[in-house]
């Protein structure tokens, strides 16, 4: 029986999306002889029935191209902006899915996309998710595609910042992406030889960071590199947020419609301000000039690394094989050398935070990196 498959990309873009689309497509179309249609701009394209036929020509030459040929958005099926209102369009999406007589819908996305796909699954759509994000914060998989490329970009940036920090005897504070989880800052900080790494999971004390930098100066190192995740916070801010969360949780019980936490785009301005303030505090407390580099969207741009091309291809081919077995409602996940399905039920609503006792954290401390909670 010839199957018909739908595919979409949702959430922040990242290198590897087109490699994954290509792998799903070549396996589905060339190997199994199925039909494949793409929905444009994430779940919005499913609602608006904006499709593109993904045949051999469409899939050719996209392995190395960054971004997504389908376009993406952060629109959610149950909170879809339509004509100035925010509506639950889940049923409308199910109707489009049925109109196309689809056997499955492949969703390439992060933690937010898993939640949205799970909602569609509960309405009877056969969904399969592929783990996409530079944050590597998806539960149930060792790694997501996009992370390796962003790690390479951020690490190379930190490499380059060493020469200017050393030449000017400065503190360079380099902000990576990662508004809730610190894998990118931690990995790039270790790989790039940062002296301080600040991640959301370990609220920092700016006086401890300053003392670690002063200690380096006393040892003749009159420069320091501080790698900070955009979501890293001071101990004071962490305390204020916990209190705010508690009061928001209480408010939510009283008025459920109230917006809970800011969206990533709301966080961008806040994190930039936070990083600038941190740099200024460190300059005041150490006497060293400080400068800031915010890596931002450079970390999500350009061609995927070879590792991400291989990983995305493995996820995509495994996805098509799961459709052949009619195994739905799962995340295609990397476990060591294997790729295996993990029920979405075990994934949604959770993030893969950096454990404070993770081996990477331990290694960072052993080589003298300050994580903001103690002076090395
Ligand atoms: O989720 C991936 C990510 O790149 C985060 O690291 C970042 O904070 C966020 O997306 C930015 O979101 P947007 O692209 O909507 O500004």
Q: What is the pLDDT of residues 334-366, one digit of tens each?
A: 999 999 999 999 999 999 999 999 999 999 999
Does the annotation mark 266 as catalytic? no
258 pLDDT tier (thresholds 50, 70, 90): low
Task: Note the pLDDT of residue 245.
Answer: 82
1 pLDDT tier (thresholds 50, 70, 90): confident
pLDDT at 73 over 70: yes
Ligand 1 centroid, distance to 314 Cα (angstroms): 24
Ligand 1 centroid, distance to 12 Cα (angstroms): 5
Name the pTM for this structure: 0.94
Task: Note the pLDDT of residue 262.
Answer: 53
Task: Note the pLDDT of residue 246.
Answer: 85
Name the residue with tokens 């190379």.
156
Ligand 1 closest atom vs CA 112: 1
Name the residue with tokens 């087109």.
18
Nearest CA, atom 3, ligand 1 = 12
271 pLDDT tier (thresholds 50, 70, 90): low
Tell me the sheet residues that pair with 227.
174, 197
For the residues 2-8, what does the mean pLDDT come to?
97
Instruction: Return d(Cα 193, Cα 36) in angstroms, integer.
Output: 45
Task: Note the pLDDT of residue 248.
Answer: 83
Task: Note the pLDDT of residue 254.
Answer: 78
Instruction: Return d(Cα 2, Cα 72) in angstroms, integer.
Output: 28
Tokens of 310: 């291989």
Ligand 1 centroid, distance to 3 Cα (angstroms): 34
Q: Is 113 exposed, middle or buried (0-12, 13-18, 19+ CB in 10 A)?
A: buried
The pLDDT > 70 percentage for the chain reads: 95
Ligand 1 centroid, distance to 257 Cα (angstroms): 24
| Higher pLDDT pick, 253 / 117 | 117
Ligand 1 closest atom vs CA 265: 16
For the residues 88-99, what does the mean pLDDT come to?
97
Averaged confidence pLDDT in the chain: 95
Q: Which residues line ligand 1 (CB under 6 A)?
A: 12, 74, 110, 133-135, 177-179, 230, 264-265, 268, 300
Please identify which of the residues 135, 137, 195, 308 carries the catalytic annotation.
135
DSSP structure class, residue 304: P
CA distances from 361 to 198, 318, 343, 358, 368 (A): 11, 32, 29, 5, 11
pLDDT at 59 over 90: yes
Tell me the sheet residues that pair with 104.
5
pLDDT at 259 over 60: no
Task: Please write the tens of the pLDDT for every residue from 272-286.
Answer: 689 999 999 999 999
SS3 61: coil
Angle formed by the axes of helices 183-191 and 359-366, nearest 10°: 40
Q: Is 302 left (phi over 0), alpha (psi -120 to 50) or beta?
A: left
For the residues 241-267, what does the mean pLDDT come to?
70
Nearest CA, atom 16, ligand 1 = 265
Task: Note the pLDDT of residue 255.
Answer: 74
Instruction: Return d(Cα 32, Cα 27) in angstroms, integer.
Output: 6
pLDDT at 47 over 80: yes
Task: Note the pLDDT of residue 359.
Answer: 98
Q: Give the closest residue to 173 by CA, choosing from 83, 58, 62, 292.
A: 292
Q: Which domains does the chain have, with CATH numbers?
A: 4-145+304-336 (3.40.50.450), 150-300+355-366 (3.40.50.460)
Task: Please write the tens of the pLDDT for every residue from 185-239.
Answer: 999 999 999 999 999 999 999 999 999 999 999 999 999 999 999 999 999 999 9
For the residues 98-123, what does the mean pLDDT come to?
97
CA distances from 115 to 28, 79, 111, 291, 345 (A): 25, 12, 7, 39, 9
Task: Note the pLDDT of residue 270.
Answer: 64
Instruction: Name the pairing type of β-strands 290-294 and 171-176.
Output: parallel
pLDDT at 261 over 60: no
Nearest CA, atom 11, ligand 1 = 264
| Higher pLDDT pick, 264 / 10 | 10
Ligand 1 centroid, distance to 264 Cα (angstroms): 6
Task: Please write the tens of the pLDDT for every residue from 230-253.
Answer: 999 999 999 998 888 888 888 888
């Amino acid at each position: 029986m010839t199957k018909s498959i739908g595919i979409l990309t949702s959430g922040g873009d990242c290198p590897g999306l087109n490699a994954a689309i290509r792998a799903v497509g070549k396996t589905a179309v060339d190997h199994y002889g199925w039909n494949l249609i793409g929905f444009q701009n994430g779940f919005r394209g499913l609602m608006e029935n904006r499709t593109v036929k993904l045949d051999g020509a469409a899939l050719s030459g996209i392995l190395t191209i960054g971004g997504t040929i389908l376009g993406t958005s952060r629109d959610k099926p149950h909170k879809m902006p339509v004509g100035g209102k925010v509506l639950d369009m889940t049923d409308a999406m199910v109707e489009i899915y049925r109109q196309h007589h689809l056997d499955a819908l492949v969703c390439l996305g992060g933690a937010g996309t898993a939640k949205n796909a799970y909602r569609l699954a509960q309405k009877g759509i056969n969904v399969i998710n592929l783990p996409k994000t530079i944050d590597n914060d998806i539960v149930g998989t060792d790694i997501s595609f996009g992370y390796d490329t962003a790690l390479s970009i951020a690490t190379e940036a930190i490499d380059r910042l060493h020469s200017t920090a050393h030449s000017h005897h400065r503190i360079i504070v380099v902000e990576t992406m990662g508004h809730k989880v610190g894998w990118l800052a931690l990995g790039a900080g270790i790989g790039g030889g940062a002296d301080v790494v600040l991640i959301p999971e370990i609220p920092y004390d700016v006086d401890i960071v300053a003392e670690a930098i002063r200690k380096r100066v006393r040892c003749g190192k009159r420069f320091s590199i501080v790698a900070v995740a955009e979501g890293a916070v001071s101990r004071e801010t962490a305390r204020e947020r916990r209190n705010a969360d508690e009061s928001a949780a209480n408010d939510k019980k009283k008025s459920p419609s109230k917006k809970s936490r800011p969206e990533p785009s709301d966080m961008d301005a806040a994190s930039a301000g936070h990083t600038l303030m941190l740099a200024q505090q460190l300059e005041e407390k150490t006497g060293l000039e400080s400068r800031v580099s915010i890596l931002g969207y450079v970390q999500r741009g350009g061609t995927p690394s070879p590792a991400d091309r291989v990983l995305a291809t493995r996820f995509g081919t495994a996805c098509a094989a799961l459709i052949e077995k009619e195994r739905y409602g799962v995340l295609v996940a990397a476990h060591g050398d294997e790729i295996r399905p993990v029920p979405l039920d075990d994934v949604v609503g959770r993030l893969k935070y950096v454990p404070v006792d993770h081996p990477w954290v331990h290694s960072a401390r052993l080589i003298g990196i300050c994580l903001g909670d103690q002076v090395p």
